[in-house]
Amino acid sequence: MIDRRPFASLGGADHGWLKARHHFSFAGYHDPERMGWGALRVWNDDEIAANSGFPPHPHADMEIVTYVRQGAITHKDSLGNEGRTAAGDVQVMSAGSGIRHAEYNLEDAATTLFQIWIETDRPGGPPAWGARPFPKGERAGRFVTLASGVEGDTDALPIRSPARVLGATLKAGESADYPLDPRRHAYLVASQGAVEVNGVRLDTRDGAAITGETALHVTALDDAEVVLVDAA
């Protein structure tokens, strides 16, 4: 089953400095049919104006993955971590027993990103943060695991959930495959370009909620970039 979620159907808010679209219920947007997808709780498509951002605020017991699409985001937290994550790169914050953090766009142009929240199966642990580059050339034509709590995924940023966040970059006409347990909950977004997922077309920034499938066959209709979450 593949349920296409057109970008135009997403919830959203315009705060001036932040233009947000929500794949699932979040903040002032509530849709009882879109409360999450398995352990995936939040997928926000954010545009943050230059020299603005989220002031310090708390989180607990959530795995928060930030995938920067354009520009860069600068992170600061109560553990003393500070870092700048640029387009194509990924940062992960395991909120654990509690952490305060701020996320600022200190660039001279808007930053766009996906913020993805995945529920943990190990609540109450020590909070942690990490970031790393994932060059798009290394995921050309194939899915690469960016963040994972699955045993054996040693090259990915760690999260405390039996889930994966993956990315792929495809030239027009190129395809990539991903095996999937049909009991799992997958969610795929076309970050750029149009793709077909098992024959279902997704345009740029559309989402697809997927379950009951044994594999995903993704074909790029244009030069495309996709982000996939495979969660319990």
Alpha helices in the chain, H assignment, sequence order = none
Q: For position 216, what pLDDT does the model report?
A: 98
Q: Could you tell me the two tokens for 20? A: 């947000």
CB atoms within 10 A of CB 204: 15
**Residues sharing a CB contact under 8 Å with residue 28, sequence separation 6 or more, in sequence order:** 13
Largest CA distance in the chain: 47
Q: For position 138, what pLDDT does the model report?
A: 83
- ∠ CA 22-24-25, rounded to 5°: 95
Contact by Cβ (8 Å): 176, 218:
yes
Q: For position 135, what pLDDT does the model report?
A: 83
- Amino acid identity at 226: V
Q: For position 84, what pLDDT does the model report?
A: 98
**Residues sharing a CB contact under 8 Å with residue 1, sequence separation 6 or more, in sequence order:** 210, 211, 212, 213
Contact by Cβ (8 Å): 86, 22:
no
- Measured CA to CA, the distance from residue 180 to residue 160 in angstroms comes to 20
- Measured CA to CA, the distance from residue 17 to residue 54 in angstroms comes to 10
**Residues sharing a CB contact under 8 Å with residue 73, sequence separation 6 or more, in sequence order:** 48, 53, 66, 84, 85, 91, 103, 104, 105, 111, 113
Q: For position 136, what pLDDT does the model report?
A: 80
Sign for the CA dihedral angle at 186, 190, 196, 199 comes to positive
Q: For position 99, what pLDDT does the model report?
A: 98
Domain ranges across the chain: 2-231
Query: For residue 15, which of 48, 44, 57, 42 has the smallest C-alpha distance?
Result: 48
Query: For residue 110, which of 80, 71, 159 has the smallest C-alpha distance?
Result: 71
- Measured CA to CA, the distance from residue 12 to residue 214 in angstroms comes to 32
Pairing of strands 157-158, 144-148: parallel
Q: For position 90, what pLDDT does the model report?
A: 97
- ∠ CA 3-113-232, rounded to 5°: 45
Q: Which residue has the tokens 């194509």?
A: 88
pLDDT tens by residue, the chain, 232 residues: 999 999 999 999 999 999 999 999 999 999 999 999 999 999 999 999 999 999 999 999 999 999 999 999 999 999 999 999 999 899 999 999 999 999 999 999 999 999 999 999 999 999 999 999 988 888 999 999 999 999 999 999 999 999 999 999 999 999 999 999 999 999 999 999 999 999 999 999 999 999 999 999 999 999 999 999 999 9
Q: For position 223, what pLDDT does the model report?
A: 98
Q: For position 137, what pLDDT does the model report?
A: 82
- Measured CA to CA, the distance from residue 72 to residue 6 in angstroms comes to 26
Domain 2-231 in CATH 3.40.50.300: no
